[in-house]
């Protein structure tokens, strides 16, 4: 039985539907993530799970117990849920230790629990300090320790790193994953940042207009997107026109793509037969720089990334692809370079209307 289960959950503000027919499950000890653009409904889902909102349809269960439905609503304080907010929400007049202890009722074991959590979040010896004496990253770890202190069934994290700079956000996201895993806590993160989602979560749900497009591992979201929206949203890449030449092959301008499994257009096509027109997704790592290749493309744009360049390449037809190339291959704008394909996963969808 999953620790968290949402079944056909919907919610609206007045006539405006913000969550529609959403179903997800999370096993005990898993970290999930709701990922999507602003306004897609991900924070509303978090509020529904926390008990701040009542669903207009569907049910929410925790440990097999119904905590929300159209007929009943368990209040937030009785759901065994911890929450970490975007702005930390620490009490400025309380010490770090007192902030962490705030939600604990067993005073006999409070000191031991606070010291344990200070060690887990890497702040041993900081219990007597006040929030303003800590960095942003340290304050967020205090907020995490406070949420973990009562040993919640489920931890909810609402855009917890958005107030931090990029470098600190990347480092802290890995630290937070380690802390959550170390404590064996089940958690759900809400974010619009793909790197953050993939660094922290075991399973990610791509949200679009209140619906889950795909609930899957980061690897499969990138390499096996279920819908065109997911393929376009996750990572970088471009669609190029292709044509099915056999059950396991598609011809594109850059050559023939052979698939280890029959060509699948995803949900957009019931069956792909010879001659079927498709849009094929090519990631930057699918397009390889090769001076010996007979196929050439013109360097139209370039972005230096330290160890590599991201090139935008213009093909003979006028179509464009992206390619990641080691930075010692420093080609000029307008230069023509040899390229070839090296595609492990063929991802294709029915050709979009022109």
Per-residue tens of pLDDT for the chain, all 354 residues: 899 999 999 999 988 999 999 999 999 999 999 999 999 999 999 999 999 999 999 999 999 999 999 999 999 999 999 999 888 889 999 999 999 999 898 888 999 999 999 999 999 999 999 999 999 999 999 999 999 999 999 999 999 988 888 888 888 999 999 999 999 999 999 999 999 999 999 999 999 999 999 999 999 999 999 999 999 999 999 999 999 998 889 999 999 998 877 776 654 455 567 778 899 999 999 999 999 999 999 999 999 999 999 999 999 999 999 999 999 999 999 999 999 999 988 999 988 776
Look at residue 259 in the predicted model and tell me its pLDDT.
80
- CATH number for 4-228 (one of 3.30.70.20, 1.10.10.10, 3.40.50.300, 3.30.450.20): it is 3.40.50.300
Distance CA 250, CA 170 (A): 38
Q: Kindly provide the residue ranges of all beta strands, DSSP E only, lying in 42-80, ordered along the sequence.
A: 57-62, 65-68
Average pLDDT of the chain is: 93
Indicate the pairing of strand 255-258 with strand 203-208: unpaired
Look at residue 271 in the predicted model and tell me its pLDDT.
59
* Dihedrals phi, psi of 195, to nearest 5 degrees: -60, -40
Look at residue 126 in the predicted model and tell me its pLDDT.
96
Q: Which residues contact 219 (CB under 8 A, 6 or more apart)?
A: none
| CA-atom Rg of the chain in angstroms | 24
Tell me the CATH number for domain 236-350. Answer: 2.40.50.140
Whole-number Cα distances in Å, 100 to 90, 103, 228: 9, 7, 44
Distance CA 191, CA 67 (A): 24
Q: Which residues contact 214 (CB under 8 A, 6 or more apart)?
A: 205, 206, 221, 225, 226, 227, 230
Distance CA 73, CA 239 (A): 46
pLDDT digits (tens, 9 = 90+) for 22-43: 999 999 999 999 999 999 999 9
Q: How far is CA 27 from the centre of its chain?
A: 17
Name the pTM for this structure. 0.90
Look at residue 78 in the predicted model and tell me its pLDDT.
95
| Domain boundaries of the chain, sorted by first residue | 4-228, 236-350
On the 0-12 / 13-18 / 19+ scale of CB atoms within 10 A, 16 is exposed
Name beta bridge partners: 33.
Answer: 189, 204
| Residues 192, 198, 203, 205, Cα dihedral to 10° | 20
Distance CA 100, CA 104 (A): 8
End-to-end CA distance of the chain: 47
Look at residue 267 in the predicted model and tell me its pLDDT.
47
């Amino acid at each position: 039985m999953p620790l968290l289960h949402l079944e056909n959950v919907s919610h609206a503000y007045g006539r405006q539907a913000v969550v529609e027919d959403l179903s997800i499950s999370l096993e005990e000890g898993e970290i999930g993530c709701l990922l999507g653009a602003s306004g897609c409904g991900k924070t509303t889902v978090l509020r529904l799970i926390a008990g701040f909102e009542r669903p207009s349809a569907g049910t929410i269960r925790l440990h097999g117990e119904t905590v929300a439905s159209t007929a009943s609503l368990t209040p937030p304080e009785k759901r065994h849920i911890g929450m970490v907010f975007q702005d930390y929400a620490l009490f400025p007049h309380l010490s770090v230790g007192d902030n962490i202890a705030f939600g604990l009722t067993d005073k006999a074991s409070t000191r031991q629990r606070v010291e344990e959590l200070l060690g887990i979040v890497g702040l041993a010896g900081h219990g007597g300090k006040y929030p303003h004496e800590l960095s942003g990253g340290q304050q967020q770890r205090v907020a995490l320790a406070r949420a973990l202190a009562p040993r919640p069934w489920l931890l909810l994290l609402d855009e917890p790193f958005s107030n931090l700079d990029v470098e600190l956000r990347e480092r802290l996201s890995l630290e937070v994953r380690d802390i959550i895993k170390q404590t064996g806590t089940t958690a759900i993160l809400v974010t619009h940042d793909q790197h953050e989602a993939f660094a922290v979560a075991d399973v990610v749900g791509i949200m679009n207009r209140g619906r889950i497009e795909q609930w899957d591992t980061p690897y499969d979201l990138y390499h096996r997107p279920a819908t065109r929206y997911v393929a376009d949203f996750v990572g970088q890449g471009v669609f190029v026109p292709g044509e099915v030449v056999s059950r396991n092959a598609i011809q594109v301008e850059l050559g023939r793509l052979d698939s280890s499994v029959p060509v699948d257009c995803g949900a957009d096509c019931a069956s792909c037969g010879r001659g079927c027109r498709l849009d094929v997704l090519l990631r930057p790592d699918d397009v390889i720089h090769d001076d010996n290749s007979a196929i050439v493309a013109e360097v139209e744009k370039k972005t230096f990334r330290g160890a590599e360049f991201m090139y935008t390449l213009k093909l003979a037809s006028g179509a464009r692809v992206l390619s990641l190339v080691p930075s010692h291959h420093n080609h000029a704008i307008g230069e023509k370079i040899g390229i070839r394909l090296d595609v492990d996963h063929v991802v294709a969808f029915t050709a979009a209307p022109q």
